[in-house]
Amino acid sequence: MLMEKNRIKIRIYRKDPEKDAKGYFQEFDVPVEEGMVVLDAVNYVTEHYDQTIAVRWNCKAARCGSCAAEINGMPKLMCKTRIDQLGGVVSIEPMHAFPLVKDLVTDVNENYETERAMPEFTPKEEKEPWIIDEMDVLRSQEFRKCIECFLCQDVCHVIRDHTTKYIGPRHVAKAASLDMHPADSLDRSKILTEEKGLGYCNVTKCCQEVCPEHIKITDNAIIPEKERAADGFYDPIMMLIGKIKKRKNGKNVE
């Protein structure tokens, strides 16, 4: 590891698409503190060497999902990746699945449009206050841990291809969090497969491997939604029964 006398070399990707035809790496020498994370190193550079480096962060606590980047080629949160756990030179690049704004910052706003196009939470008619079993809450809550870092979108090869209409793992997990809400009345599985390209996902599980919140996106959201859609398409009666009996009871639809 390039850590001489408690210093480290980091390489930061630089490009302003309006000005530069090609991107390049700029190398900096940064002092290392105990427990330091990649974002500390980048901030050290902006504070001491070059204030013009574009970098996005907010909570610095792995809670807001602002600081997603590719660190030594791996999609990670800069504020959660410790320098001492990385080997070799530390290279920091922006996410590749999104349009570049400048340096480490990408434009992720398309994700809000995707969310806007998904049918929102639509509660069943029920007497208030709602009585909901703790067991039924757990399944949906897993997806609600999502901090919208969009690292899963970044790693998904279907999205990187840019050729399909697949909305990507984050948005399937979002749909699943609504579908599995015990008080929700809709079923989004059909929309997911018919309109949102879920069929293109070939369950490689890369998305769930990079999720900093350890959400089992493929296992617990994508596969159940695919199966539910399949059930619904082939057997409308099963789907009806499923809606009444199985769907909202917090167990897997199998």
Partner 1 sequence: MNEYKELDSDILIIGSGGAGLRAAIEAGANGASVVVVSKSLLGKAHTVMAEGGIAASLGDVDSKDSWEVHFSDTIIEGVFLGNWRMAEILAKEAPERVYELERYGALFDRTPEGKIMQRAFGAHTYRRLCHVGDKTGLELIRTLEDRILHMNNISVMDETLITKIVSKDNKVIGAIGFEMKTGKFVVFNTKSVIIATGGLGRIYKITSNSWESTGDGIALAFKAGAKLVDMEMIQFHPTGMVWPPGVKGLLVTEGVRGEGGILLNSKGERFMLRYSPKKKELDARDVVARAIYNEIKNGNGTEHGGVYLDITHKGAAFIKKKLPAMYEQFKEFAGIDITKEKMEVAPTVHYFMGGILVDAETCKTNIEGLYAAGETAGGLHGANRLGGNSLADILVFGRRAGLYASEYIKNAKAGKMGVREIEAEIDNVKKYIDNKNKGVNPYEMTDKLRNAMEEYVGIIRNEKDLKTALDIVYKLKKESAKCKVSGDMKFNKGFIECIELNNMLLLAECMIKSALERKESRGAHTRSDYPEKSSDWEVNIICNNVNGDIILESAAIPEIPERLKKILKQ
* Residue 55 touches which of partner 1, ligand FES, ligand SF4, none (Cβ within 5-8 Å per kind): partner 1
152 binds ligand FES (CB under 6 A): no
Task: Match 């979108």 to its residue by tokens.
Answer: 153
CB of 207 to ligand FES, least distance (A): 18
Cis peptide before 129 (omega within 30 of 0): yes
Any residues with CB less than 8 A from the CB of 219 and at least 6 apart, and which?
Answer: 205, 208
Of 59 and 74, nearer to ligand FES (C-beta) is 59
Shortest Cβ distance from residue 56 to partner 1 (Å)?
A: 8
Site residues (CB under 8 A) for partner 1, limited to 116-145: 116, 120-121, 123, 128-134, 137, 140-141, 144-145
Please tell me the distance from the alpha carbon of residue 238 to that of residue 242, in angstroms, as a whole number.
6
C-alpha distances in Å from residue 48, one per residue of 8, 14, 53, 107, 136: 15, 17, 11, 26, 51
Establish if 147 lies at the interface with ligand SF4 (CB under 6 A). yes
CA atoms within 13 A on the CB side of 193: 17
Q: Which residues are registered as beta bridge partners of 8? A: 30
Closer CB to ligand FES, 111 or 189, in the complex: 111
Place of tokens 């690292």: 151
Residue 246 contacts ligand FES per CB under 6 A: no
Residues making up the chain, counted from first to last = 254
Residue 77 binding ligand FES, by CB under 6 A: yes
Residue with tokens 């009666």: 237
68 is a contact residue toward partner 1 (CB under 8 A): no
Q: Does 181 bind partner 1 (CB under 8 A)?
A: yes
64 lies in the binding site for ligand FES (CB under 6 A): yes
Binding site for ligand SF4 (CB under 6 A): 65, 146-152, 155-156, 158, 169-170, 173, 201-207, 210-213, 215, 217-218, 222
